[in-house]
Structure 1
Amino acid sequence: MTHKIDGSVPLARPTELTSRPLASSRAGSAERGAPVAATESVRLTGEAEGLQALERELGAGPAGIDVARVNALRAAIADGSYRVDAQAVASRMLDLEHQLGG
């Protein structure tokens, strides 16, 4: 079976999908308008907690970033004096490829 798509007929969404609220795990009490108790909790894994800690550290400030060097590079790029050493970039890319086992 094939359908021709010519763009002349706008796609309509079924009204049941757009007009009704999303179902919850306590749909019976939510549909009657009764308040739902907030008894559910979320527990993060160690990895997620580590990611949150890292996010807080990075958001706190420029730790380990040489701001003067960054500003100098921005200025060199802006005035056109920054030059890329293609040989050094290629060499480092090949080194990385070898380290990754390629």
Structure 2
Amino acid sequence: MTQKIDGALSPALRPVDAAANAPVQRAGSERSQPVGATAPADQMRLTGDATGLQALERELGAAPAGIDVAKVNSIRASLADGSYRINAQEIANRLLALESELAK
């Protein structure tokens, strides 16, 4: 099966272009009227997961963050005056506990 390639698309295969069907104003024509915008051709539809994530984001943004402001301020003060101490053993124990929970 052979076909001649002439660079032209058949009418059934030509892409639809709204701008191509719009009237073209030539040089020197009337330009006192505003130019009309073409209708948007793109559409987007969200999946159920994306819609759920958006709802969760709105819910979390509206709700209080659950931050203990008093505790944060006390830690800031202890960091500023140098009295904040880090318990490396407690951090290590909690990391090991988390590791064992994740391995289950």
Of the two, which has the highest radius of gyration?
Answer: 2
Percent identity between the two aligned chains: 58
The structure with higher relative contact order (CA 8 Å, sep 6+) is 2
For the aligned residue pairs, the C-alpha RMSD in angstroms reads 2.8
Query: Structure 1, residues 18-76: CA drift from partner, whole Å, max 9, x if none?
Result: xxxxxxxx77334x484432364422223222222222233225332211112222222
In structure 2, the residue matched to 1:60 is 62
In structure 1, the residue matched to 2:98 is 96
- Give the gaps of 5 or more residues in structure 2: 1-14, 23-36
Residue from 81, 85, 88 that aligns with 2:87:
85
- Assess, with a 3 A threshold, how the Cα gap between structure 1 residues 75 and 57 changes in structure 2: closer, same or farther: farther
SS at match of 2:103: coil
Q: TM-score normalised to the size of structure 1?
A: 0.55
In structure 2, the residue matched to 1:29 is 18
Aligned length: 76
Indicate the structure with greater helix content: 1
Q: TM-score normalised to the size of structure 2?
A: 0.54
